[in-house]
Amino acid sequence: MKIPLPKINISRINIIQPKRTDKPGQVPGTFFIADTALPSKIFVYSYNANDLHELETDEIKEAVAFTEKYPDNSNWIDVKGLGSQDVLNYIQKKFNINTLVMEDVVHTHQRPKIEDHNHFYFVVSRMMELDKGLQLKNEQLSFLLFQNLIISFQEDYDDVLDPVRNRLRKNVNGNIRNLGPSYMLYALMDTVIDHYFTIVNRLGDELETVEDHLYQKPRKLLMYRIQGVKKLMVSMRRAAWAERDKLNDIIRSNNNLINPAIIIFMRDAYDHSIQIIDLIESMRENATSLLDLYLSLMSNKMNEVMKTLTIISAIFIPLTFIAGVYGMNFAYQDPKTGKVLTDNMPELYMPNGYVYVIVVMVVIALAQVWYFAKRGWFRE
Amino acid sequence: MKIPLPKINISRINIIQPKRTDKPGQVPGTFFIADTALPSKIFVYSYNANDLHELETDEIKEAVAFTEKYPDNSNWIDVKGLGSQDVLNYIQKKFNINTLVMEDVVHTHQRPKIEDHNHFYFVVSRMMELDKGLQLKNEQLSFLLFQNLIISFQEDYDDVLDPVRNRLRKNVNGNIRNLGPSYMLYALMDTVIDHYFTIVNRLGDELETVEDHLYQKPRKLLMYRIQGVKKLMVSMRRAAWAERDKLNDIIRSNNNLINPAIIIFMRDAYDHSIQIIDLIESMRENATSLLDLYLSLMSNKMNEVMKTLTIISAIFIPLTFIAGVYGMNFAYQDPKTGKVLTDNMPELYMPNGYVYVIVVMVVIALAQVWYFAKRGWFRE
Amino acid sequence: MKIPLPKINISRINIIQPKRTDKPGQVPGTFFIADTALPSKIFVYSYNANDLHELETDEIKEAVAFTEKYPDNSNWIDVKGLGSQDVLNYIQKKFNINTLVMEDVVHTHQRPKIEDHNHFYFVVSRMMELDKGLQLKNEQLSFLLFQNLIISFQEDYDDVLDPVRNRLRKNVNGNIRNLGPSYMLYALMDTVIDHYFTIVNRLGDELETVEDHLYQKPRKLLMYRIQGVKKLMVSMRRAAWAERDKLNDIIRSNNNLINPAIIIFMRDAYDHSIQIIDLIESMRENATSLLDLYLSLMSNKMNEVMKTLTIISAIFIPLTFIAGVYGMNFAYQDPKTGKVLTDNMPELYMPNGYVYVIVVMVVIALAQVWYFAKRGWFRE
Amino acid sequence: MKIPLPKINISRINIIQPKRTDKPGQVPGTFFIADTALPSKIFVYSYNANDLHELETDEIKEAVAFTEKYPDNSNWIDVKGLGSQDVLNYIQKKFNINTLVMEDVVHTHQRPKIEDHNHFYFVVSRMMELDKGLQLKNEQLSFLLFQNLIISFQEDYDDVLDPVRNRLRKNVNGNIRNLGPSYMLYALMDTVIDHYFTIVNRLGDELETVEDHLYQKPRKLLMYRIQGVKKLMVSMRRAAWAERDKLNDIIRSNNNLINPAIIIFMRDAYDHSIQIIDLIESMRENATSLLDLYLSLMSNKMNEVMKTLTIISAIFIPLTFIAGVYGMNFAYQDPKTGKVLTDNMPELYMPNGYVYVIVVMVVIALAQVWYFAKRGWFRE
Amino acid sequence: MKIPLPKINISRINIIQPKRTDKPGQVPGTFFIADTALPSKIFVYSYNANDLHELETDEIKEAVAFTEKYPDNSNWIDVKGLGSQDVLNYIQKKFNINTLVMEDVVHTHQRPKIEDHNHFYFVVSRMMELDKGLQLKNEQLSFLLFQNLIISFQEDYDDVLDPVRNRLRKNVNGNIRNLGPSYMLYALMDTVIDHYFTIVNRLGDELETVEDHLYQKPRKLLMYRIQGVKKLMVSMRRAAWAERDKLNDIIRSNNNLINPAIIIFMRDAYDHSIQIIDLIESMRENATSLLDLYLSLMSNKMNEVMKTLTIISAIFIPLTFIAGVYGMNFAYQDPKTGKVLTDNMPELYMPNGYVYVIVVMVVIALAQVWYFAKRGWFRE
């Protein structure tokens, strides 16, 4: 029974991911900005339980000055685009950041990790986004967490963090306003991980659509889809495992930069990362099963084709042979001597020879059909 | 030798499971109830070694008041259906529950886990049920365990917990009456895990039926069954591993909410979870072996089809060729000159030409049959 | 070169194993005896370095009284058949056994394990036996170890423990007589594990026989055998791993029920369990390799069949076409006008037309044979 | 839609790697130089924050004397080529090196490792280089690290270390000049590991090229490429895991030969080694997926070929049979008696017999085409 | 381009390995000698830095007496062949050996291990040897290590230990002469492990030869070779892992039977065991890849065969049909009435009918060739 199938997306599944491009042997501890990096836009949020001040600027000096205006506030400097060397240099100098850290900020192929540098934490998250055509964008989101300040760096102007910004604006006197930059760190990281669920669920839906199609008409396109989903899964699993390790490290860290009241939230994020890994693993197994299913179905189809060929050939080839025999021109008379050659195909001159032959042919054909039916070749 | 095979269930094997539907970036620490959630029905059991008082109500206030009537009793508040915001809000406020916990109660895609919140434990179990058509229902069962009270939350009105209710009613002065809410927690969790055995055994029976069928007539439907069972296994394994981890955490916890006399029972439940994982793993291996078997059998069948085609074609094609040769019309005389062309097919004018040709054909056919028999093509 | 092959056992490979049959939610801490359980026969051995007293009875009271006659002796109560409720009840009461333990004794699907209950140890072993038709019987053997007494429970009247009984009878003043019940525990467990070697070796021989057959004539039956052996291996591995864990727990336990002089023997048994796991793992890998081999050989055979078909078809189809062409009836004269149609098949009226055609056919056939030979289709 | 594909490199993918060639049982603690080893060239760098002195020589005495000229400098003795016994002997004696260490220096199949010999560290790295034809050169780079001196040994005159030399020369007052030989050790090891990224990225590009080709025209060469990449991956993974272990050992070591300021750099190198392992693992999974894809595509192609054959055969074989029937020579008259045989093929003498037969043939052909179309054999 | 291929060894790859033959339940702590064991030959070496005394005898008493002649010397008693009960009994009594140990000496299927019995160490190694026909001999080499004496037991008269004996004889004042029996233990074990490299390298060469052949002409024999190598690898890996564990145990042991100066050598042997495991693992992966390659190549070959068949059939079947049509005997005149049947095959009476038909056939054939060429069936 055919039910209408959901449409299959036919665009190519792909990953857009930064590659490590720096030359080996480059002076460690210096950082060069990629040519393709976007110029930085800076957004500053200075907030406490009651007030929120925002600033958008291109000048890092201005941004830092803005945060210093409200010494008791928590501050978030949101740097979008890593293309402005002066912004990065100023931050490095101003906040006394190790060059290795700045290097990791701009070489955007880092695994999620946390590094404790005493006066600050350096944290890396992988921010993933799946566009409509199932292209996976795998971007780096880095954080520098200080006592009253968190600085975030991202490659693109777009991100998945707007829900956090909205909460910050609307949620007067909520946790996000009261618990300082380490809560902000949690909120940002958790939003990133939560977005993994959205992606995995979309991929899961894709797999289910593919499965429905497979059961009705297996075809090459479906295999491409499954392979594509598996490729994304491999990529996401790498990120998710590292997220898990990072959150585990945070939960166990002792640095007083993290507000102890936040550990319980971090544990929740940790649980999410475990759930995501779990989900990805079972989805990968399902994808593998679907591939096996595809292959079995293709080989079933092949069997069916072969059986059709075999049945038709096997029935007609012997019959054609018989027709061929009675198409031979063995002579009734020797043309030279006129002697009748009675042994040469006397069947041809029998009154009912033709009828007999046709009957024999029908019997042979029926015997074969019966044999094939008994073997079950007509079933399934 | 054919023995009558057990019937195969032909309905689709499937999983019904809550998906994570909340939008990423939602304010953590708030909870929204799904639109599809059922309104809550509340069942209260207040019991001690000798007495048992029951109440069914829709009002959580009434339920809580009921438990407070018997201050020395143990109490179980059984909340079925998570659709009543007021019930949840009241419980949160009354018992001072962290919002993150309430969120996990209503977002019913949590992994089994235990969280120690000092004045209470939060415990999640996955309650599984397999309907007749092999649809696996994967529901969340959450517990809040207090000193004298256990509150359980489940999504549906149906569950697998009736045996516990019966024991509670009938087993006067039994462990279930004497050992307080932590024993009730154990009894409920153990009943849930025990039900896994029922499910795994049913799936095992399914696999054995499929195996019996496979050995007699391999066909596509059987492969679908095996794939379906594997899918359920993947899902159950995820739950069973998490159950194991949870029970391990309980055994090692020090909170005095758990009656020490119950640890030995928890260990028994832990053993059960290990057994279940063991069983699932071997069943998964068996399912994989069955798939391999199916594929081998299909390829055997294909071989058989190909051999039939090849034998028939190989025997008749040369014979048909010979018949074709003697069906050629090379002329005995040049029609223009009347000159006899003695080299043109003199065989046709031999007295026994036809007989010789038939003999030659039979010899060729027999030689081929002999050759194929020697190669073993007629065996198996 | 064919050597005579060993016979292959054609009976179905199978596992006979208790399934968990108790209903979920049964009162934990009670035990119900399966309907199929055999009535208990009790054998008592009371022994010291010099003397051995034996008793066979159906009455547990009598058996216990018998052990109390010789207060300084070690005693072994060997309970065969678990169908007598009174026997089990008496033992539970007399020796103050937790109900959970008694439950595990009669629900004979437990994993091997050891539980330390202070005044006694509860130990479970899986006793395996392979009958001639390669049916694996997987029975539970449970022990209660006290200071001067060991009680063993088994499901069937048959077992693999006779060597221990013989040693007990003949080995006057040997370790078995001197080292008390904990040595008896060791001797029984070690005999059980040693029997695994016998089973694995028989399965190994089976695999080698199958391999020899495979190299000479691959066929479906062989694949069934390999699949069967793999199934048994999966089952044995589960048991062997648990045996290993159990022995490890015993070696590390501190309870003075275990005579310290016996730890060295336990370590030896532990070594055996490791060896068994090792053996099973490599045998499983070999079984998998054999399956791959089978599949490759089947696909080789298919290749050979296809090549035969292709060679014969490819050679004769073009020749048959040529014969067909000269079997066409294009007329030499227009029958209406009598005009000679010189372009219609003049070959038929050439003096050597037939000879030429035969030569052309032979050339085409040879060219094809040469081409296929060059392609290596006649090799292997 | 065809896009122009990148060229595929058609040279064979290969590994050039030292094999263990010493005979077993050789006196441990002696070392013999391989016959193929190159004579040693020695480069000495003696440097501090401001000055750099270089020397190129063949004489190890001269080199050591050179380092002693500047007692406060850090020194790097760079030995290229391991063919000069006197060089190695002198170093062994002069610096009091255990013979086992010298043996590991010349037997260049060691895994990456670090050995703490109190007065010096012995460190092994595997230096990999991929030439244009995708030949992987897997060379050993060994270090002896002393307080003020590092000696490096490599097999070939070429290496991947020029970036470090350039930095040493240009980076006046940089870390490399100030932090002593242990920073030099770090710089060299990190450059080696960084080069792994270059290699893995090139192999990743290769895989992507292969994938693009696969989707357009799958062919055998592509499979060879994938297999080749997998082989290199296996080799690199072995090295990368050992690098990781080595760096972990260094980070945890307490010997004061390692400047504590360098641990943070070592941790960075450790992160790189983790990233490399991660990358290799996902690339290996991708390579495996590509192989599966190749096989599926080949089997799709086969399906297509078979369907073509089957459609053509199935349509024409019955038609040919019909034509064969009407090519039979059953006689209209008995030649002896002249009696008309009305049952012998009366169709041949019907006014429209030919037309009818042609019509029947067309109908049969169309019916088959319709049947195959319905079955979906003309799609995809 | 064909290069001359190295020869392939065509003998069967096999393992000769002792099986566990003792019956389960045998009295643990007694040992029975296998019927096939060789009578013992005893070689004694008594040595110090300057002197070496050797003795060959059949009498164990004589051998022990010989070692007692030089009380300050180190001694090695080398027992070849385990068939002499009196030798083993004498050793057991004389040196006070636990019966379990003696049992392990004669039951030669033990895993490598070390057991610390206070006054002596019991050590087991697996000595492997590959004969020319790639038969792997897996023999047990056991050691008893005392303060001044090491006794070794081996099953056969042949072994791989001659290099150690030569070193002992020639290396006056070397480590082997000075460092006592524990160095001798090291030297023997290391020689055994080193021999694994020789074996693995030979198997690696075999795999490379097979790979070269595979790329030129894949055939069944090659698959047998790969399967054989995999089988040996499984066996060697088991031994190598246990060797690793054993060496690790030795390095961490505190018994003063091991000269502390030897730990560094043991660590070297440990490194070797790791390298061997590494090598085996990558070789196993390569063997698996080769099998995949073989299967792909076979399926490619099959494709090629099928394409040939399909092209030839598809081209000629329609042509043969056309020829068949014009071979039909539809009559020009009704023989009874003499009426001309103008609709019966008028083509046959057209002046150029034959030419037209030939042209049509050529066109059809070319069209098909063009179509197949476009589909890429003639490529590769």
What is the model's pLDDT at position C1?
A: 42
Whether the predicted interface score ipTM is above 0.90: no
What is the model's pLDDT at position A320?
A: 93
Where is mean pLDDT largest: B372-376, D76-80, E256-260?
D76-80
**Chain E residue with Cα closest to D331:** E329
Residue among A72, A2, A83, A74 nearest A36 (CA): A83
E23: distance to nearest CA of chain C, Å?
8
Give me the half-sphere count of Cα atoms (radius 13 Å) on the Cβ side of residue C262: 25
Record the tokens describing residue A70, joined without a space: 């409200």
Distance from C-alpha of C329 to C-alpha of C341, rounded to nearest angstrom: 13
| Chain E residues near residue D324 by CB distance under 8 angstroms | 324, 327
What is the model's pLDDT at position E1?
A: 42
pLDDT-flagged residues of chain B (< 50): 1-2
**pLDDT band at A1; cut points 50, 70, 90:** very low
Distance from C-alpha of B328 to C-alpha of B313, rounded to nearest angstrom: 22
Per-residue pLDDT at D1 exceeds 50? no
Asked whether A39 and A108 are in contact (CB, 8 A), the reply is no
**How confident is the model over D130-141, as a mean pLDDT?**
87
* C-alpha B360 chain-centroid distance: 62
What is the model's pLDDT at position A29?
A: 54
Is the CB of B356 inside 8 Å of chain A's CB atoms?
no
Residues 298-337 of B with CB under 8 A from C: 299-300, 302-303, 306-307, 309-310, 313-314, 317-318, 320-321, 324-325, 327-331, 334-336
Record the tokens describing residue A231, joined without a space: 């490729």
What's the mean per-residue pLDDT of chain E? 87
Is the CB of D364 inside 8 Å of chain E's CB atoms?
no
Per-residue pLDDT at C26 exceeds 60? no
Q: For E117-146, what is each residue's pLDDT tens digit? A: 889 999 999 999 988 778 889 999 999 999
Residues 186-215 of E with CB under 8 A from C: none
Give me the half-sphere count of Cα atoms (radius 13 Å) on the Cβ side of residue E232: 32
**pLDDT band at D41; cut points 50, 70, 90:** very high
Record the pTM: 0.80
Task: Give ∠ CA C312-D306-D3 in degrees, rounded to 5.
Answer: 130
Asked whether C314 and E308 are in contact (CB, 8 A), the reply is yes
Element (H, E) at D117: none
CA distances from D315 to C238, D369, E38, E267, E289 (A): 57, 8, 75, 75, 42
Distance from C-alpha of C220 to C-alpha of C222, rounded to nearest angstrom: 5
Q: For D262-300, what is each residue's pLDDT tens digit? A: 988 999 899 889 989 988 988 888 898 898 889 888 888
Distance from C-alpha of B238 to C-alpha of B231, rounded to nearest angstrom: 11
**Chain C residue with Cα closest to B291:** C227
What is the model's pLDDT at position E261?
A: 87
A131: number of Cβ within 10 Å: 11
Per-residue pLDDT at D30 exceeds 70? no
Q: Which residues contact E71 (CB under 8 A, 6 or more apart)?
A: none
**Chain E residue with Cα closest to C347:** E354
Task: Give ∠ CA E111-E115-E120 in degrees, rounded to 5.
Answer: 135
Distance from C-alpha of C71 to C-alpha of B253, rounded to nearest angstrom: 43
What's the mean per-residue pLDDT of chain C? 87
Terminal C-alpha separation, chain D = 15
Residue among B45, B21, B46 nearest B35 (CA): B21
Where is mean pLDDT largest: A143-147, C96-100, C256-260?
A143-147
E20: distance to nearest CA of chain D, Å?
30
Asked whether B55 and B62 are in contact (CB, 8 A), the reply is yes
Out of C268, C271, C329, the one facing E348 most closely (by C-beta) is C329
Asked whether B255 and B118 are in contact (CB, 8 A), the reply is yes
**How confident is the model over E237-244, as a mean pLDDT?**
91
Where is mean pLDDT largest: C179-183, C338-342, D27-31?
C179-183
| Chain A residues near residue B299 by CB distance under 8 angstroms | 299
What string of H, E and C letters represents the secondary structure of A56-99? Answer: EECCHHHHHHHHHHCCCCEEEEEEECCCCHHHHHHHHHHHCCCH
Out of A110, A234, A326, the one facing D286 most closely (by C-beta) is A234
Q: For C178-219, what is each residue's pLDDT tens digit? A: 899 999 999 999 999 999 998 998 898 888 888 888 888 888
Per-residue pLDDT at C48 exceeds 50? yes
Out of B88-92, D345-349, E11-15, E238-242, pick the least confident. E11-15
Out of A130-139, B17-26, C106-115, E317-326, pick the least confident. B17-26
What is the model's pLDDT at position B65?
A: 94
Q: For D192-229, what is each residue's pLDDT tens digit? A: 999 998 899 889 888 888 888 888 888 888 888 898 89
Give chain A's radius of gyration (CA, Å): 37
Asked whether A214 and A225 are in contact (CB, 8 A), the reply is no
| Chain C residues near residue E354 by CB distance under 8 angstroms | 328, 330, 343-345
**Chain D residue with Cα closest to A288:** D289
DSSP secondary structure string, E171-239? -TTSHHHHSHHHHHHHHHHHHHHHHHHHHHHHHHHHHHHHHHHHHH---HHHHHHHHHHHHHHHHHHHH
Task: Give ∠ CA C184-C185-C188 in degrees, rounded to 5.
Answer: 80
E214: distance to nearest CA of chain C, Å?
14
Task: Give ∠ CA E251-E255-E260 in degrees, rounded to 5.
Answer: 55
What is the model's pLDDT at position B18?
A: 61
Q: For E349-375, what is each residue's pLDDT tens digit? A: 888 889 999 999 999 999 999 999 988
Out of C111, C327, C355, the one facing B324 most closely (by C-beta) is C327
**pLDDT band at E58; cut points 50, 70, 90:** very high
Task: Give ∠ CA B290-B379-A309 in degrees, rounded to 5.
Answer: 75
Residue corresponding to tokens 């077992």: C159
